[in-house]
Structure formats: C-alpha cells, structure tokens
Chains A and B, each alone.
Chain A
Amino acid sequence: MAADRHHWFVRLTHWVNAVALVIMIGSGLQIFNAYPMFARRGATFCCYPFAGNPIPHWATFGGWLAGARNWHFAMMWLFIVNGIAYMIFIYLHGEWRDLVPRRGDVRDSWEMVKFYLFIRGNHPRQGKHNALQKFTYFAIPILSALAVITGLAVWKPVSFALLTNAMGGYVYARYWHFLVMLSLVALSAIHIFMVLVVDPFSIRSIVTGGYNAERAPELRNGRPFYHLFKRTRRNTDAET
C-alpha cells in the first residue's frame, strides 16, 4: 500500500477544524446580529458600510444571543486545541516543509496565476502543493491565531486591557475580529472552489489518505474547470 498523501492526524485535524470553524463563524455571526454594527454608542464608525443590516439567518448558528455565545465560548477550545495539536504535529513530523513558502514561491505563484489565465501553457513544476496553495495553507494558521488573539481582546477587555487597548480599544478589537473572520471565510471559499474545479481527486486524499498521483494537476495541466471539458493530457513538456 502506498503511503497516504495526508497523514491520518492531518486528515483528522483538518475535519475537526472544518466543523469547529463553521460553528465559530455561525455562532459569531449570530452574536454579531445582536448589534450588527461597530460604532460606540454616541459615536460613529468609519469603516463598515453595512451597519444595521443583520447577517442572513441561514448563516447563523446558536438560535439566539445566549445560545450562540455559549457555543462560541465552548467551541473556541476545540478550535484552539485542535489548531495547536496540528501545528505541533506538522512541526515534529515534517509536513511544515511542504507548507512554508520559500524564496522562489512569490515568482512561482505569479507563474501559477499566468497558467490559470492561459498566459502560460504548461503547469509550473511544484512539490506537494503549488505556490498559491502554500501561501494559502501558510496563512490559515496565522489568521486563526489572529482570530484567537482578537477574540480574547473582545471577550475580556478589562482582564486583557493591554491587549484590547493595543488594538485600538474594544470597538476596533471587535472590528479586527470580524475582518479576520472574513479573510478566513474568503480563503476557505477559494480553497473549496479550487478543490472542486481543479483537483476534485484530492478530496479522497483528505478523507482516506489515498491519492492517484497520475491525476495530479501538474501532470494533467489542471486549470479551473479544465478537466470538465477537455480530456486529460500528460504534461510532458514540464521544463518550459
């Protein structure tokens, strides 16, 4: 049996994180709906164009303010512990080597963009992940840590007064927390979209660990939707 593409521990923490993140976001949006704006009472806020408009019900979780708060403050521990366990694992087990961007990855991600836009003909050479993936997967733990830190500043603005003040006070801490959530949503949405339209064969690898290397995007010149309308062709001219 070939080695799993993703170690079982990575697969486990990936899906635990998916569940924890969805619940954190849903309950967070339900909490947000109790006051769907940022302004301090008697003041104005510069930077939120949708003030006063609640988040649609389907995107919320927890049912009501207290329910959502209780979910948020319970699930945050699963989110934190799972995230730390994942980080320790990829550090000790070596997976971090596939995820930390290297010097050439800035240029390589530009090459990937050119490839996706049909400016470049052949899929750039890559390791386990392409350069764009590396930046994304590297950003997720950083954004998650920021979510936790900004969250602590909102949760305990007096106990962690130094932290909250460093963020510009409670109102801005709440705003940064919201923006970090939006970036996590954006990256997750792109991640899911690209998995589905570029490399749906990789879904198997994050569930059972199995992966058919013959179907790697690099080998079949996989662009978004490409495999849906064109027969796969081996990328034999990878040098160019």
Chain B
Amino acid sequence: MQRRDFLTASGALTMAWLVEACGSRGPEGADKLLKYAMRKNETLERGLFRHTSMDSPRSHWPNAGKALPQYYISDTVPVWDSAARGTWTLEVSGLVKKPLTLTLDMLQQLPRITQRVNHYCVEGWTAVETWTGCRMSEIARAAGVTPDAHYVDFQSFDNNYHESWDMDSAMHPQTLICYGLDGRMLEPGHGAPARLFSPVKLGYKNTKYLTKIVFMPKRNGGYWSDQGYEWYAGT
C-alpha cells in the first residue's frame, strides 16, 4: 500500500469513527485508558490539595434556600424512626484509639462552626448555603485516630449509601459534620439528623443521613464511585 493510500484510508477511518461516535459512549476498549487517566488525575489532584485553599462565595451571592435540591437514594425521604431503631447515634470506629458513639446532643457540644460555602454538584450546578456543625478533624481528634488510617468511610441509613474519602480531604477545615442549615436544624430532605458536608468534594461524596464514620487503612469505594464516577471527586 502506498503511503498516500494509507494516510487517506486512516483519515477516512478516523472520520467514520468520529461520525459513528456521535451520541455514543465511546469504544469499550478505552475503559482501561480512562481508568488510568482517572488514577493519574487523582495523584495530581492530591498533590494540588491544600488545607489553606478555602472555598469562599461572594457575599452578594444569595443562599439557595428552597432551591437546594433534595437528593436521596431510597424511594421516599429517609427519616430516622426512633421508635423502631432507638435514638439516632453517630458511630466513630475503625482505626481509632477510642471508638465513639455520639448522640445529636453530644455532636452539638463539640466546637460549633457555621460556614457559608458553595455546594459543587457533579451535574454542574452550584448552590450557596450556610451550614452549621463541627469539624471532621475535631471528631478525629476526639476519637484518637491512629497513624495507619489513610481513608475514612462515611456510611448512612439511606439504603446503605456510603462514600469513602482520603484522610487529607476529610481533615480539611471546611469539612464538617453538619446538623444545621441556614440557621435551622437539618431537615430530612437534606440529610437529618446529621450529614457530611464540605466544599472540597463534589456533592455526591457528602454522605447524608450519616450513621457511621469508619477510619480505614484502605479505601472502599462508594455508592456513585462504584458506578463509574470519580472516587476522588475533589474540587
């Protein structure tokens, strides 16, 4: 085959592939390459991560209020049923010196932070909200996390929804365990009694309806991460 024919043929094949690709998911064989890029991106993103990089919406941006979507995995809004399941508690366990079982009251006794931050959704929207809670790093300190803990899993009572995080992001000063939104106690639609919220991760990493915080040596994926969304999902 002549060089010219080869080039023409490969050009035609490329164009045909592009036309064929319209509206498609792309070739199956590319999955490995995409996963490789995702891992490399994670390494880069972790390298860029700083506890001093803070999210700060401008003061004239209005809070979303009722316009903040309420997402959950169950068929109906998950509500903690105290009559059937007893008092809600937040269990802190795994690689810790002192496992904790925190009630909502105990959680509110911890140093209280109120912050106005952006919510970055994977879909491309953002919403400014004022969240109240305590720093995740405070809970880690109270539980005495051991040095071999590199990941944290945040588990919920919403159909076993969970997402695991890298330690660095979990310890960011803007990563809170929240029980208040816009000056009121959290409502069921937004993850009551308590949820994880941080602007340093996309929305889906921020587990609502929190019941367990488990410190781990290895990551264990998450509800959306296991379905093909990035596990790191850092902003």
A→B interface (CB under 8 Å): 15, 18-19, 22-23, 26, 31-32, 34-35, 39-43, 57-67, 69-71, 73-74, 77, 156-161, 169-171, 174, 207-208, 210
In the complex, are the beta carbons of B200 and A70 less than 8 A apart?
no
Contacts of A39 in B (CB 8 A): 125
Task: Pick from A32, A60, A158, A169: contact of B200, CB below 8 A.
Answer: A158
> Within 8 Å of chain A (Cβ to Cβ): is B189?
no
Q: Are B38 and A73 in contact (CB under 8 A)?
A: yes
> What's the Cα separation between A41 and B49 when bound, in Å?
26
- Contacting residues of chain B (40-66) with chain A, CB-CB under 8 angstroms: 41, 45, 48-50, 53-58, 61-66
Take A35-B125, A157-B118, A208-B4 as given contacts and tell me if A41 and B56 are in contact as well, using a CB distance cutoff of 8 Å.
Answer: no
Total contacts A to B, CB within 8 angstroms? Answer: 146
CA distance A160 to B58 in the complex (A): 16
Q: How far does the alpha carbon of A22 sit from the alpha carbon of B26 in the complex, in Å?
A: 12
In Å, the complex CA distance between A71 and B127 comes to: 26
User: Provided the pairs A40-B61, A63-B24 are in contact, do residues A157 and B120 lie with their beta carbons within 8 angstroms?
Assistant: yes
Q: A40-B62, A170-B118 are in contact. List 13 more A-B contacts (CB 8 A).
A: A34-B122, A40-B64, A41-B68, A41-B126, A41-B128, A60-B22, A63-B24, A73-B230, A156-B235, A157-B120, A161-B55, A208-B4, A208-B7
Q: Name the residue among B14, B24, B35, B57 with the largest chain A CB count within 10 angstroms.
A: B24
A80 CB to nearest chain B CB (Å): 12
The reply to whether A69 and B37 form a contact with Cβ atoms under 8 Å apart is no
Q: A66-B228, A159-B234 are in contact. Are A61 and B41 (CB under 8 A)?
A: no
Q: A34-B122, A43-B61, A170-B120 are in contact. Are A207 and B11 (CB under 8 A)?
A: yes
Chain B residue contacts of A57, Cβ below 8 A: 23
Contact assessment for B235 and A15 in the assembled complex, using a CB-CB cutoff below 8 Å: no
Shortest B134–chain A CB gap in Å is 20
Chain A: interface secondary structure?
A: helix
**Chain A min CB distance to B228 (Å):** 4
Q: Is the CB of A159 within 8 A of B49?
A: yes
Q: Is B229 an interface residue (CB 8 A)?
A: yes
Query: How long is the Cα–Cα vector from A156 to B118 in the complex, in angstroms?
Result: 13
Contact indicator per residue, chain B 3-25, by CB within 8 Å of chain A (1) or not (0) = 11001100100100010011111
Pairwise interchain contact B68-A169, C-beta atoms closer than 8 A: no
Minimum Cβ distance to chain A for residue B22 (Å)? 5
- Cross-chain contact B227 with A66 (CB below 8 angstroms): yes
B68 and A170 contacting across the interface, CB-CB below 8 Å: no
Q: Which 4 A-B pairs have the closest CB atoms?
A: A63-B25, A74-B37, A41-B127, A42-B67
| Residues of A contacting B125 in the complex (Cβ-Cβ under 8 angstroms) | 35, 39-41
A-B contacts, 17 of them at CB < 8 A, read: A41-B127, A57-B23, A58-B22, A63-B26, A66-B224, A73-B38, A74-B33, A156-B45, A157-B235, A158-B54, A158-B200, A159-B45, A159-B235, A161-B53, A161-B54, A171-B126, A210-B4
